[in-house]
Amino acid sequence: MGQALTSEWLGTGIYTRLFESRLAREVGRPIALATNSGTAALHLALKALGVEGGEVVTTPVTSVATNHAILYNSALPVFCDVEPRTGNIDPGRIEALLTPRTRAIVAVHLGHACDMDAILEIARRRKLPVVEDACACHAVGGFYKDRPLGSLGQIGAFSFGRFKGLSTLDGGALVFGRAAWRERLSRLRRLGHREDEGGMAAGPAGVEELGYHYRMNDLAAAIGLSQLGRRRAIQDRLDAVLARYREGLSGASFLEMPEPLAYSRGVRAYAAVKVSGGRRDALRRYLADGGVQVNDCLYPNHLYKLYKPYARSLPAAEKFCAQTLHLPFYPGLRDQEIDRVLQLVRDFRP
């Protein structure tokens, strides 16, 4: 990373290409293209699939970035309810939402991998592409059965923001296998500019399509390379944090930390707990009063004012979000800080 800092090159260059190559190997896809955010990656993923003017089946339990990307592409989000245990899109409810206007299915790996066999079978029968949104779950290193997350759908999107297990401070990436997409997506992330012998092509044909300022820079990529080199150590620490929480919370009768699923491994997204009896907000306030800020950023997207035109009855999603609380969770979290959280939880009187 030091060489990137002292380099006179500040744009997209050798470190970005190295990061893309290493990331592609990590997730088992032939091609990775780095972007400046996970949101940009999702926007371009749906752009590549040509969803404009159609519908995209999606989940309400996700960052709004997922569904904003659908709107950015002039498509309509069709919200599907979720599995009560995981909060992931419920494959058993997808098919009833498909219409002749459906252009794609978005599978968001939240805290566990989605049930991808079931989703891919629906997509195969209905001849629909699947976007794997791995932005929310810190999914580099995560697996569905024996396959890396991001390698199962037609195209995958990752986020490397400041709260992720693998961070470039801000950044994201697309991963895919269709070589024909590489040139177009590369252009779209650099304002539509076509490259010619390493530089931007001159003349009228240099920009043929409206593009976006979505490139990753070399400094961010160098940070990402450093993080990839430490990925095992980061994952081991996150596993240790989860284990300490799980052991310490085992006696809390009003609180459940869901067990891992047999088909999902290595997904280290959140230290998520379910708080029963309508006591989640009280526990959150109690932790805040004790100096512990918790993250409950999952709000049912269909209840936002922006998404009111697309709202439908989604009781499982609303219940999941109302019960779920995210405890502090990051590689630098110290054991004594975890113990402080656990003590507050034990002291809480519902």
**What value does the mean pLDDT take over residues 308-324?**
96
From CA 286, how far away is CA 123, in angstroms rounded?
A: 45
Return the pLDDT at 140: 79
* 3-state secondary structure at position 145: coil
Model confidence at 178, pLDDT cuts 50, 70, 90, reads very high
Return the pLDDT at 198: 58
Domain map (residue ranges) of the chain: 2-229, 231-347
How confident is the model over 245-279, as pLDDT tens digits? 999 998 888 888 888 898 998 887 788 899 998 99
Q: What does the angle CA 117 – CA 120 – CA 124 come to, to the nearest 5 degrees?
A: 135
- Whether domain 2-229 has CATH 3.40.640.10: the reply is yes
Per cent of the chain over pLDDT 70 is 92
Judged against a pLDDT cut of 60, whether residue 73 lies above it is answered with: yes
> Which residues, other chains included, contact 1 with Cβ-Cβ below 8 Å and sequence gap of 6+?
222, 223, 225, 226
Model confidence at 213, pLDDT cuts 50, 70, 90, reads very high
How confident is the model over 6-32, as pLDDT tens digits? 555 566 679 999 999 999 999 999 999
Task: Give the pTM.
Answer: 0.92
**What value does the mean pLDDT take over residues 289-296?**
86
What amino acid is encoded at 190 in this protein? R
How many other CB atoms are found less than 10 A from the CB of residue 197?
5
What amino acid is encoded at 60 in this protein? P
From CA 186, how far away is CA 180, in angstroms rounded?
A: 11
Model confidence at 36, pLDDT cuts 50, 70, 90, reads very high
From CA 87, how far away is CA 316, in angstroms rounded?
A: 8
Q: Which H or E element spans position 103?
A: strand 102-108
Mean pLDDT of the chain: 90
From CA 273, how far away is CA 269, in angstroms rounded?
A: 12
Given the DSSP bridges, would you call strands 155-159 and 130-133 parallel, antiparallel or unpaired? parallel
Model confidence at 1, pLDDT cuts 50, 70, 90, reads low
**What value does the mean pLDDT take over residues 131-154?**
86
Judged against a pLDDT cut of 60, whether residue 182 lies above it is answered with: yes
Judged against a pLDDT cut of 70, whether residue 138 lies above it is answered with: no
What is the CATH architecture assignment of 231-347? Answer: Alpha-Beta Complex (3.90)
Contact 67, 135 (CB under 8 A): no
